[in-house]
Amino acid sequence: MGGEIYTVTLKYFKLAIDRFMPYLLWLKNDTRDLKNIREIENHIEAYEEVKSKIESYNFDFSDPNKMFDGEPSDVENWMDETMLENLSRLSLRLLDSWKKELEQLKENKLRTDKDRIRIRELEGLIWPLETFSKEKSYLIGKHADKGILSFPGENRLTEDLNKNYEKSTETPVVGAEKLSSVIFSSELLSSIPPDVARLCDEFNFNYQNNKPNAAMLLLRRILPLTIVRKFQSLGKEDEIKNNDNEFFDTKTLLGKTEGLLSQKRIYTEIQGYKLLLDSSQHSYSLNVDMVDVEGCAVKIRLLLGDLFHKV
């Protein structure tokens, strides 16, 4: 501890905490290992404490690279080296997420005014942080060789998912013809949020074992959850909630993704699948053919690929 820390660095720390706190919370809920849960809880508690301390300085966070009237260039450091390294690497993860978001937006062939505003905003955020990350004299650059921060349990969730995936594809089927392929590949599963991937993994099992009703019900869960996780990863959860702080219905959620997709045709084609969007039909009245399931699943696979696989 001791010494000073730049105000700009603290602003990036705070933005990084805000960006990944929702992800940490659902990662905690999706983890079964008690050790990982305790470590995640420790991260959450530590981040909340740091965030509270940073906010106590009453900085203006609208532009982390700008010094506003009355703001000091630096403040006395209160954190130990372990915490500084963790937050520096978290800031590198923030930088990486901004770069990928910018790449997605620039790939949009039909950009909205909102897209253009966000592109300018991201470009203004990325280059200063990237500069800091390359300079050893800055705190974030000092720890850059350690790499982007990974959270407790992330690697284990991926490993468990792959094991379950392999196991499900080997399960014998009695009294039904087993399909030879799966819709959601292991490569895709490893690149999307763990809880979405688990549902996709379960879908693969039902698809291979020729269970169309169960498979379709899973697709109905996968679609809205995919959209929610994407907006949470972007720190934009408020954009998909109503005045009662509840998530919009699936059809409205889907509409919110249009501006995020590089391939607008995906949005249009999913809209055409009433089976996916009609949440009023209950499981006891559901009766679909596997061809319908496969068509819906392929569209959701394209959606997942567009939203997450490039990230």
The residue with greater pLDDT, 143 or 309, is: 143
Read off the pLDDT of each residue in 237-257 and give the average, rounded to a whole number.
Answer: 90
In angstroms, the CA 61 to CA 55 distance is 9
SS (H, E, C) 47-82: HHHHHHHHHCCCCCCCCCCCCCCCCCCEEECCCCHH
Q: What is the pLDDT of residue 95?
A: 93
In terms of Cβ atoms closer than 10 Å to its own Cβ (0-12, 13-18, 19+), residue 154 is middle
Is 80 exceeded by the pLDDT of residue 277?
no
Is 80 exceeded by the pLDDT of residue 310?
no
Read off the pLDDT of each residue in 10-25 and give the average, rounded to a whole number.
Answer: 88
Percent of the chain with pLDDT over 90: 38
Mean pLDDT lowest among 127-141, 163-177, 237-251? 163-177
Is 70 exceeded by the pLDDT of residue 286?
no
- For the whole model, what pTM was predicted? 0.56
Averaged pLDDT of the chain: 82
Is 80 exceeded by the pLDDT of residue 104?
no
The residue with greater pLDDT, 273 or 282, is: 273
In this prediction, residue 91 has a pLDDT band, given cuts at 50, 70 and 90, of very high
Contact 206, 216 (CB under 8 A): no
Q: What is the pLDDT of residue 177?
A: 38
Is 90 exceeded by the pLDDT of residue 108?
no
Read off the pLDDT of each residue in 214-234 and give the average, rounded to a whole number.
Answer: 91
Read off the pLDDT of each residue in 222-227 and give the average, rounded to a whole number.
Answer: 93
In terms of Cβ atoms closer than 10 Å to its own Cβ (0-12, 13-18, 19+), residue 82 is exposed
Q: Residues 152-190: pLDDT tens digits? A: 877 654 444 444 434 444 443 333 334 446 788 887 888
Torsion on CA atoms 95, 156, 195, 209, rounded to nearest 10: 130
Read off the pLDDT of each residue in 60-79 and give the average, rounded to a whole number.
Answer: 93
Read off the pLDDT of each residue in 303-308 and give the average, rounded to a whole number.
Answer: 89
Q: What is the pLDDT of residue 87?
A: 97
The residue with greater pLDDT, 165 or 24, is: 24
Is 90 exceeded by the pLDDT of residue 12?
yes
Is 80 exceeded by the pLDDT of residue 226?
yes
Contact 164, 201 (CB under 8 A): yes
In angstroms, the CA 41 to CA 47 distance is 10
Read off the pLDDT of each residue in 20-36 and give the average, rounded to a whole number.
Answer: 76
The listed range with the strongest mean pLDDT (272-281, 285-294, 298-307) is 298-307
Contact 139, 9 (CB under 8 A): yes
Q: What is the pLDDT of residue 173?
A: 39
